[in-house]
């Protein structure tokens, strides 16, 4: 309809229709009541205007029926908006299980993206249509916000923690990608494009180009380069805890607390090891704050995740065999050591 002057971005994800539906519903209700109220004001002002100086108004005694109606009807309308909005909100913020994962790092002033196969891109994100995609996002410096208008999704990207965003593209095409949080002088230039492709084209794109190490392989290499492996020895208890099957499990802490080993916990264990000490261990792990970039942290996390049965990320669309390095000498399924 408005192809030359689009008032609205096109709908290109499963979320887009849901978000627009509630948006238009709220706009329609608001417009309807605004018109009724404005119209009534004008109509009554004319109808009951004072006609001569001596005119005295007639006392009225209110109407219970009217008052109940104009309280109860708006009550149900607004509660309807609330319930519907909450449903859409939860759907937007809960990625479905089995979504394809992609790492995103925001940095003044660019978006760095790494696929689980190792493909890297800057200010471009290639995704397959018809498959839920979950972005795991961190920031190298300040708060950014990852925004794809055509998908109706937006989420802050915050230094020091991970945030996720998910969508499922429905139409192949190229869409705008914006940073939606003022992040410095070149904020307005922090844009890019999202390319949604048919799964076959996406597979071809993945296998072409210059794939670097997968995040897991890069993380494994870092694990050796940063000599993590001198304390965290594979399969046997060293000076540090065994990291096999850590991800997704509960860790008992020195202070008697418990914590689930998720991305945020592993990140904290690396940049601020003293924050939570694992029960039975000495606080001897040095901090790696400043020694590893946000991207390298994501790679280390990907590696630690790959050591756990629960942590293995699902393979991208169409790939039959997992592309992550599978080590046969690792007791991946072995339960964590008791007494931790």
| Interface residues toward ligand HEC, by CB under 6 A | 226-228, 230-232, 239-241, 243, 246, 251, 261, 266, 269-270, 273, 277-278, 281-285, 288, 300, 304
Query: Would you say 270 and 219 are in contact if contact means Cβ atoms under 8 Å apart?
Result: no
Residue whose structure tokens are 């004008």: 42
- The answer to whether 74 touches 82, Cβ cutoff 8 Å, is no
Q: Which residue number, 144 or 232, has a Cβ lying nearer to Cu ion?
A: 144
Beta carbon nearer to ligand HEC, 208 or 339: 339
d(CA 247, CA 133): 21
Q: By CB under 5 A, is residue 190 in contact with Cu ion?
A: yes
CB burial class (10 A; 0-12, 13-18, 19+) of residue 236?
A: exposed
When the beta carbons of 197 and 228 are compared against ligand HEC, the nearer one is: 228
Applying CB under 5 A, the span of 4-12, 116-124, 174-182, 295-303 interacting with Cu ion comes to 174-182
Stretch that binds Cu ion, among 46-54, 136-144, 203-211, 325-333 (CB under 5 A): 136-144
Answer yes or no whether residue 232 interacts with Cu ion by CB under 5 A.
no
> Which of Cu ion, ligand HEC, none does residue 324 bind (CB under 5 to 8 Å by kind)?
none
Q: According to the binding rule CB under 5 A, does residue 144 interact with Cu ion?
A: yes
C-alpha–C-alpha distance, residues 134 and 129, integer Å? 13
Residues 6+ apart with CB under 8 A from 334: 244, 245
Q: Helix, strand, or coil here: 218? A: helix
| Structure token digits, residue 264 | 């945020």
Beta carbon nearer to Cu ion, 188 or 282:
188
- Residue number of the CB closest to ligand HEC reads 228
Helix axis angle, 294-306 relative to 263-271, nearest 10°?
120
CB of 187 to Cu ion, least distance (A): 5
């Amino acid at each position: 309809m408005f192809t030359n002057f689009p008032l609205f971005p096109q709908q290109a994800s499963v979320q887009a229709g849901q978000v627009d539906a509630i948006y238009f519903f709220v706009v329609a209700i608001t417009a309807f009541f605004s018109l009724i109220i404005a119209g009534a004001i004008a109509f009554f002002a004319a109808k009951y205007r004072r006609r001569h100086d001596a005119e005295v108004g007639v006392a009225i005694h209110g109407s219970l029926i009217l008052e109940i109606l104009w309280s109860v009807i708006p009550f149900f309308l607004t509660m309807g908006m609330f319930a519907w909005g909450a449903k859409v909100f939860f759907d937007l913020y809960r990625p479905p299980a089995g979504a394809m994962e992609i790492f995103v790092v925001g940095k003044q002033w660019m978006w760095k993206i790494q696929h689980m196969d190792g493909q890297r891109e800057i200010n471009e994100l290639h995704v397959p249509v018809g498959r839920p995609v979950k972005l795991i996002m961190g920031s190298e410096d300040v708060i950014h916000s990852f925004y794809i208008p055509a998908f109706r999704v937006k989420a802050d990207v915050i230094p020091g923690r991970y945030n996720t965003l998910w969508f499922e593209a429905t139409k192949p095409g190229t869409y705008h990608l914006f940073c939606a949080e003022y992040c410095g002088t070149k904020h307005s230039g922090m844009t890019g494009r999202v390319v949604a492709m048919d799964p076959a084209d996406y597979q071809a794109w993945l296998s072409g180009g210059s794939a670097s190490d997968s995040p897991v392989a890069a993380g494994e290499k870092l694990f050796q380069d940063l000599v993590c492996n001198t304390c965290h020895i594979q399969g046997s208890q060293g000076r540090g805890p065994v990291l096999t099957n850590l991800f997704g499990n509960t860790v008992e802490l020195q202070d008697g607390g418990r914590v689930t080993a998720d991305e945020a916990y592993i990140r904290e264990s690396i940049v601020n090891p003293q924050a939570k000490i694992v029960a039975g261990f000495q606080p001897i792990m040095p901090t790696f704050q400043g020694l590893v970039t946000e991207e390298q942290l994501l790679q280390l996390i990907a590696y630690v995740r790959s050591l756990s049965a629960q942590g293995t990320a699902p393979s991208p669309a169409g790939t039959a065999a997992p592309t992550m390095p599978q080590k046969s000498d690792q007791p991946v399924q072995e339960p964590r050591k008791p007494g931790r």
